[in-house]
Amino acid sequence: MRIVLFGRSGQVATEIARQAEAAGVKLDVIDRAVADLSDPASVAPALAERIAGAEAVINATAWTAVDAAEAEEETARAVNAVAPDEMARLCAKAGLPFLHVSTDYVFDGSGETARDEAAPTAPLSAYGRTKRDGEEAVRAAGGRHAILRTSWVFSAHGANFAKTMLRLGAERARLNVVADQIGGPTPAADIAAALLKMARAMAEGAPGGTFHFAGAPDTSWAGFAREIMARGGRGCEIGEIPTADWPTPAPRPLNSRLDCAAIHAAFGIARPDWRAGLDAVLTDLGETA
């Protein structure tokens, strides 16, 4: 199977590349040197050169600097909405499945129950707005597509919460971490595996749609941090604070719980145990697991 992949160095793109050969997938990678998504006009010629013979296209790129997006919303929109619009339209014209990664930040984080795919979106931040706009553009393109909303992504690659906690936990005896934001930490490796499985199924005729995929069990950032310290062999104590005591330029949703029943029903993909994923990341990093 041949897949065109947008992205090379991000967490999910890195994991897709690691898993592709074992999954029987040949990747044709479009990275920033080929198409800079902050200039969406670069997307069409780059994809047009590679689309012949492909069986699916995956977009694993995004502007993920949540706080920076508050001041640079138009650049974030170019990457998160306009560029995916271009990709989706080309895929629709070519009759190819298009898979796009989105986020829990499209919701407002109210309540305490897990949201399903039909829940109304109401993003709190510029990042969330641009990701919602990207979703809407992909749907409007009219082709076969899958939008995969996920949350709290971590891996051994790039910058993420798990790696930050490991670094700080080696330097400090105590850290205060937000305890009233609840969600599912999600290993990038499991997101990559889900996307590859979905791409193959859709290439064989399976329908797409919007799906939620997040790790289990749900926890707080403080609970996640405490597990990172324990499994990473850090003696750092984790104190719990409310979001109000950790102000950020972009507001965060308090409730990031995602109902992941639909992806299991459609593709047989279950929620991964993020603790097992954390152990794998620690092994990758050469840490105690």
| Look-up of token digits 């992806």 | 263
Nearest to 217 by CA among 260, 168, 172: 260
In order of their start, the domains of the chain are 2-159+187-215+257-273 (3.40.50.720)
**Residue 121: its pLDDT value, please?**
97
**Residue 280: its pLDDT value, please?**
96
Nearest to 150 by CA among 28, 10, 31, 34: 10
Distance CA 289, CA 283 (A): 7
Distance CA 5, CA 82 (A): 17
Q: What is the DSSP string of 151-175?
A: -SEE-SSSS-HHHHHHHHHHH-SEE
**Residue 52: its pLDDT value, please?**
87
What mean pLDDT comes out for the span 77-96? 96
Nearest to 228 by CA among 275, 264, 260, 183: 275
Nearest to 194 by CA among 158, 162, 146: 146
**Residue 287: its pLDDT value, please?**
83
Nearest to 134 by CA among 69, 195, 182, 189: 69
What mean pLDDT comes out for the span 241-250? 95
pLDDT at 288 over 80: no
- Reading phi first (left if > 0) and then psi (alpha if -120 to 50, else beta), residue 24 is in left
Largest CA distance in the chain: 56
What mean pLDDT is reported for the chain?
95
Q: Please tell me which residue in 6, 105, 107, 127 is annotated as part of the active site.
A: 127
pLDDT at 164 over 90: yes
- Per-residue pLDDT reduced to its tens digit, 52-70: 889 999 999 999 899 999 9
What mean pLDDT comes out for the span 277-287? 94
Nearest to 99 by CA among 221, 191, 230: 191
What mean pLDDT comes out for the span 248-270? 97
Distance CA 166, CA 234 (A): 7
What mean pLDDT comes out for the span 259-266? 98
Q: What is the DSSP string of 214-227?
A: --BS-EEHHHHHHH
**Residue 289: its pLDDT value, please?**
53
Beta-bridge partner residues of 118:
none
Percent residues over pLDDT 70 in the chain: 99
Is 105 considered catalytic here?
A: no
- Per-residue pLDDT reduced to its tens digit, 169-180: 999 999 999 999
Phi, psi angle pair for 279, to nearest 5°: -60, -40
Residue 172 in contact with residue 247, Cβ under 8 Å?
no
